[in-house]
A and B are shown apart, each in its own frame.
Chain A
Amino acid sequence: MAEFEPQIIAFTCNWCTYAAADLAGTSRIHYPANVRIVRVMCSGMVSPMYVFKAFEGGADGVLVAGCNHTDCHYIDGPVKCDAMFARLKKIVHVLGLEDERLRRELISTSEGVVFAQVIQEMVEQLRELGPSPFKIKAEAVA
């Protein structure tokens, strides 16, 4: 039986975390291929609907990453994202979703290494946890 490979959808802001992911690339830092990155202009642009859509589609984990609080191109996007994320966490908590499956990170432009580490860590955690409880599709049960 094929080993379970989790799928992660990462929402990354254009100015910081997307750039950090690019930096991981230019530095040739390797990390697991399980992640698919969605570029948004600001982490404050991430709507709970996108996260739900990712889980409905069968993602095993979602990462919402952006600038830290002093670097935001739009000044306080991370604050807005934090507020949204706190509400979202409460909702998925009642749904019984494991904490590791929905993760928030503040990764700035220069932190390519951190990006790679976060992905590595998430993939390892999700391999342990198994497929998402929302995965109603027939295949991929460890």
Chain B
Amino acid sequence: MNLDDIIQETKTYYCLECGKCTSICPVARYDPSFSPRTMIENALLGFEDELVFNEKLFSCLTCYTCQQRCPCDVDFAMFIRKARVMAQNNGQHGACAHSGQLQSLARLMSSPHIKQRRLEWLPDKYRISDESDVLLWVGCAPYFEPIFEDIEFRALDITEASLKILNFLGIEPELLSDEKCCGHDALWTGDVETFKKLAQHNATQIKEAGVKKIIFSCPEGYRTFKLDYPSYGFGLGCELQHISEFLAERIEKGELKFNEMTKKVTYQDPCRLGRHLGLYDAPRKVLESIPGIEFVEMEHNREDAICCGTSAFTNCDTYSNMIRAERLSEAKATGAEMLITCCPKCQTHFRCAMVDKGEEKRPIPKIEVMDLVNLVAGALGGQE
């Protein structure tokens, strides 16, 4: 991996140095030392050290906002991803959030010798089956529970809600007892080796399971399986779907009826679902199908949506906080009682932003946050 290769592969040579990327970048808006344009410039001029040893390389959210606007088709997010691989090879690991625990966890998990205990949380009331054609991907949820105890976020609640809905629809999905982290964070932090180990393991597990469809409640897992696994040669040979897509389909077919739920809500488009995969309609369709739900868009929505402020648990700092404050203000300004998202990472970061343990409170608006799946599971009814 050298700088020239990166430039070629991501088409950075097209850059006009127009500055459009920096002008709409959520990080650059607050962090005066962060500039996508300058990073590209350094690369094009061959200033490798300026790029690789710049701590800010790990501040990029890879949210795709810049490349969506870029008039020249520069694949900035991929540029960052590959530059980070170079950085890692030069001993630069970035100042990761939580002291790098999440990255470390992925590396530990990638060891072939571990025997995980992934399903101990599963209550008897849910029906699963090894014979099923449908796999529900659980992802990092069992690990997130102890890690994010202090922000009272239980990612497994999303998994359980997914199971509840699937069972309701008469589906008894398979749950893998030995799936590993999809490798999203490792990949985007530049640790391709760990990503490949995890991907290899997961691909093997899925092949052995012989399922026809995998449903994801996490957009990062979904994106990684859909786009990155094939590009690294890990073919899966089955259909992949985000649960919002799945739900929208079922609603279309009239299979899902909901009880009335009176709530005013707004919706956060996760970067990986929205700009990365173009999935904007399905979650909205789901929200609009629940009677009583009043859905209001935030000022910046769909392609314009603002990232939740931290990506792949790389650098989290005062600027990440400001991005979140801005986003939560937008949510609050809609008058909604609840912010719906369908990404456990977005939810984690928003909840963390609202933690206010000091005596002097931060001026960050507080709003209830919930995953789309939990909302749906709470509104299930109509038949049976």
Q: Which residues of A are found within 8 Å of B112, using beta-carbon distances?
A: 136
Q: Would you call B118 an interface residue if the criterion is a C-beta within 8 Å of the partner chain's C-beta atoms? A: yes
Q: Would you call B114 an interface residue if the criterion is a C-beta within 8 Å of the partner chain's C-beta atoms? A: yes
A133 near B115: Cβ-Cβ < 8 Å: yes
Q: Would you call A91 an interface residue if the criterion is a C-beta within 8 Å of the partner chain's C-beta atoms? A: yes
Q: Which residues of B are found within 8 Å of A55, using beta-carbon distances?
A: 108
Complex CA distance for A88 and B112, rounded to whole angstroms: 21
- Which stretch in B96-104, B123-131, B327-335 binds the other chain? B96-104
Which residue of A has the minimal Cβ distance to B104? A52
Q: Which residues of A are found within 8 Å of B83, using beta-carbon distances?
A: none
Complex CA distance for A49 and B113, rounded to whole angstroms: 21
Complex CA distance for A136 and B113, rounded to whole angstroms: 8
Of A87, A95, A135, A136, most buried by chain B (CB within 10 Å of CB) is: A95
Partner of B114, one of A48, A87, A90, A133: A133
B104 near A95: Cβ-Cβ < 8 Å: no
Of A48, A94, A96, A97, most buried by chain B (CB within 10 Å of CB) is: A94
Q: How far, in Å, is A82 (CB) from chain B's closest CB?
A: 14
Q: Which residues of B are found within 8 Å of A94, using beta-carbon distances?
A: 116-118, 120, 142-143
Describe B's contact surface by its main secondary structure. helix
* With contact pairs A87-B149, A134-B108 given, residues A49 and B114 touching in the complex (Cβ less than 8 Å): no
Partner of A49, one of B101, B117, B145: B101
Number of interface residues of A (CB under 8 A): 20
Q: How far, in Å, is B151 (CB) from chain A's closest CB?
A: 12
Q: Which residues of B are found within 8 Å of A88, using beta-carbon distances?
A: 146
A48 near B118: Cβ-Cβ < 8 Å: no
Partner of A136, one of B100, B111, B149: B111
Residues 51-108 of A contacting B (Cβ, < 8 Å): 52-53, 55-56, 87-88, 90-91, 93-97
Q: How far, in Å, is A11 (CB) from chain B's closest CB?
A: 15
Q: Which residues of A are found within 8 Å of B117, using beta-carbon distances?
A: 93-96
Q: Which residues of B are found within 8 Å of A134, using beta-carbon distances?
A: 108, 111, 113-114
Q: Would you call A47 an interface residue if the criterion is a C-beta within 8 Å of the partner chain's C-beta atoms? A: yes
Partner of B99, one of A49, A93, A133: A49
Partner of B107, one of A48, A49, A56, A133: A56
Q: How far, in Å, is A96 (CB) from chain B's closest CB?
A: 4
Binding site for B on A (CB under 8 A): 47-49, 52-53, 55-56, 87-88, 90-91, 93-97, 133-136
Pull 10 A–B residue pairs with CB atoms less than 8 Å apart, ordered by A.
Answer: A49-B100, A53-B104, A87-B149, A88-B146, A90-B145, A90-B146, A94-B143, A97-B114, A133-B111, A135-B113
Known A-B contacts: A56-B107, A56-B108, A91-B146. Give 10 more (CB < 8 A): A48-B99, A49-B99, A49-B104, A53-B104, A91-B147, A95-B109, A95-B114, A96-B116, A134-B111, A136-B112
